Amino acid sequence: MAMMSIADAYKSAIAEEMRADPSVYCLGEDEDIPGGMGGAFTVTKGLGDEFGANVKVAKDKGFEAKGLDIANDRVINTPISEILLSGVCVGSAMAGMRPVADLQYGDFLFCMMDQLVNQAAKMCYMSNRQVHIPMVMRAPCGATNRGAQHAQSLESYFIHVPGLKVICPSTAYDAKGMMKQAIRDNNPVLVFEHKLLYGGKRKEAGQLSAMGDVPDGDYTVPFGKAAVRREGRDVTIVANMLMWYKAMQAADELEKEGISCEIIDPRTLVPFDYDTVLESLKKTGKLMIVHEDHYNGGWGAQLASYVAENAITLLDAPIVRVAAPDCPTPFSPTLENFVIPSVDRIAQEARKLAKL
């Protein structure tokens, strides 16, 4: 076992899969150029030293050319063109490669919607399973004082698309195991990674420590299985990424008041583990869903509708959703902190729900 940040856990998974399978390669903007960061959040920093970076840096930049054979380089630095990035992923995956792409910010997924939704997600179905698209798209998400175009949580846009798998690891253990699972999957997988959980060399205001024990050997974390992060008896709280950390803090406060919360981290949004949620509701009878995405049409709405349609008799009170209001994420830190669900707000809503 080794203590790792989430950023290092992702890097470890990608490196191990590249060593084991020559069809795996990385690409992205500032993926691992000399003097660069290794993506926006340092996840791929250093991979170019082992696997070759597809760049030749001019001497006027202050670096010597590495003299690598471009045909064999497996860490590819791309132009700032997300439509190019996704097109290369889909095409190379169809040809038998396994690309792992790095978006600097998940917001840029909108620049590649046709390739993701109309090509990657549908090719297997349209070809009667003769064509597979084993590609991984890594998308940093979450609000970090960067304004409305660099702060969105976009998971809900993609859970609507048949053919895509959507995951959101939030611990170092899950980050490595689920990334390895994603790379080996024969379907396109979107990996949402919260910026405040990376714990890498790039420090973020409000960053949480998500360091954890990660096995040295090979392992995977299967998709479609939620994690019960805390057991409780009064309220079931389902929250992903940064929000389950906040939910845990809220649960600590509520425990002092005699209110016991069960915290479930879904980890995978497609496929979703509804069974674990329903088992919890058999104990608590009360459901609260917390996500950083907007209230209207967030993934919590899908979970709420599923429970209402299939297990409404388990509920002793209305379902509560805690989410960001339906407005763009403000740039002002004060306003951002107001719209993003806080520990106090989660505790307040859980407290009211427990008393119903």
Residues marked as catalytic? 150
| β-bridge partners, 98 | 24
Distance, CA of 167 to CA of 159 (rounded, Å): 10
Distance, CA of 355 to CA of 333 (rounded, Å): 33
Distance, CA of 299 to CA of 303 (rounded, Å): 7
| DSSP per residue, 226-245 | -EEEE--SSEEEEE-THHHH
| β-bridge partners, 76 | 27
**301-314 core/surface letters (b: 16 or more CB in 10 A; e: else):** bbbbeebeeeeeeb
DSSP H helices, the chain, are: 6-20, 47-51, 82-94, 113, 123-126, 155-159, 172-184, 242-255, 274-284, 299-310, 333-339, 343-354
In sequence order, the 6+-apart residues with CB closer than 8 A to the CB of 180 are: 13, 16, 17, 218, 219, 220
User: What is the chain's Cα-based Rg?
Assistant: 21
